[in-house]
Amino acid sequence: MKALILSGGKGTRLRPLTYTGAKQLVPVANKPILWYGIESIIAAGITDIGIIISPETGAEVQAKTGNGDRFGAKITYILQDQPLGLAHAVKIARPFLQDSPFVMYLGDNLVQSQLDLFLDKFKSKHLDALTLLCEVENPTAFGVARVDQDGKVLELIEKPQVPPSNLALVGIYLFSPAIHEAIANIVPSARGELEITDAIQYLIETQKNVESFQLKGWWLDTGKKDDLLAANQVILDTCLDSTMAGEVDANSKISGRVHIGKGSRIINSTIRGPVTIGENCQIENCFIGPYSSIADRATIIDTEIEHSVILTEAKVIGIQQRIVDSLIGARVQLKVTPQRPKALRFMIGDDSQIELA
């Protein structure tokens, strides 16, 4: 069994951050989104992993993630020159996949891991495709599956005006080698892409064994700022362990679950968890409220932050009003003079310098 993770695309919904970096490397609770998928796949016992990368961000993904040693896996990078669809990604990965069954995982998804159960069903029933589904409130915004009472997939419909169910395609699939024949027999969609839903529909129409598995935990799509902040909140709620590896002075107050990385200094500040702070950060005269993640080497002085994600080496200094619901990019420099509104909301791309006077 192999794994294929898709880590291409342009991440247009997370711009301006993704003008300068891969959306799959944006951190949630100070860990790149992509790494959660890798860890979930390895936890299910799959260690031979191919990662689809794009010309724009592939070098960054490869440099940050490496050859897989840090995860106990072997990672092969596969360049997709143009964004021609998920099925096209499988097609160009055929030399890596060969005739092995595989899991296909969209690299900007976060799920409460049930991949072992997903894998067990696929193997025990000798399926050609198994789709992971999740109940959603707005099925018109997703690819939706029509299934029978036993979970057999009858039809896949992309963003239907009249949904046959509220079961959305999560973006995690298991395939037998039969998917390659299916992809060879489909044509590009109206948007010029080879759609994986068309390939699965081909399997259904040719009487292959296609079933579904309904996810019972959470599923988080991190494609937009608010989605990423929601994902950060869920991960901090469910996965954060309290660790105090940095220095906290006597004038600071720490409450709730808080992780403070090595080399970080907390001076005259209040931190109310769940909060994660990376390594070599300086936090001085601050209030850091719940559901905040602050990455390595950030400097935050005279500032209040809550429910926000601050990336590597950002400097946020002299802000007397509270920053909420914000995503602040790497190496951003943000300074604010007094007499501003009571709450500020930002989405700031990497390397920006902003001063509000």
Domain at 163, CATH number = 3.90.550.10
Q: What are the backbone dihedrals phi and psi of residue 84, each rounded to the nearest 5 degrees, phi first?
A: -100, 20
Same domain, 114 and 219: yes
Contact predicate 104/173, CB 8 Å = yes
The boundaries of the domain holding residue 30 are 2-235
181-239 pLDDT, tens per residue?
A: 999 999 998 888 999 999 999 999 999 999 999 887 778 776 677 888 988 998 999 88
**Euclidean distance between CA atoms 148 and 115, whole angstroms:** 22
Last residue of a domain, one of 217, 235, 253: 235
Distance CA 93, CA 84 (A): 13
Same domain, 71 and 144: yes
Q: Which pLDDT band holds residue 339 (cuts at 50, 70, 90)? A: low
Q: Are residues 281 and 224 in the same domain?
A: no
Quickly state the pLDDT bin for 333 (edges 50, 70, 90).
confident
Shared domain check, 202 and 104: yes
- Kindly tell me if the per-residue pLDDT of 11 is higher than 50: no
340 CB neighbour count, 10 Å cutoff:
13
Selected residue with higher pLDDT from 4 and 115: 4
Among candidate residues 223, 178, 156, 194, the one with its CA nearest the CA of residue 15: 223
- In this structure, the answer to whether residues 127 and 212 fall within a common structural domain is yes
One domain for residues 179 and 258: no
Instruction: Choose one of 202, 235, 268: the last residue of a domain.
Output: 235
Q: Last residue of some domain: 211, 235, 259? A: 235
Domain of 315, CATH number, reads 2.160.10.10
d(CA 205, CA 292): 48
Which residue type does 212 have? S
**What is the rounded average pLDDT for all residues in the chain?**
88
Please say whether the beta carbons of 43 and 113 come within 8 A. yes
pLDDT on residue 226: 80
Helices 33-43 and 58-65, packing angle to 10 deg: 50
Cβ 36 vs Cβ 231: under 8 Å: no
The mean-pLDDT minimum among 19-33, 277-291, 333-347 falls in: 333-347
DSSP 225-255: HHHHHHHHHHHHHHH---EE-SEE-TT-EEE
Number of domains in the chain: 2
pLDDT-derived band at 15, boundaries 50, 70, 90:
very low
Residues 263 and 146 in one domain: no
Q: What is the pTM of this model?
A: 0.86
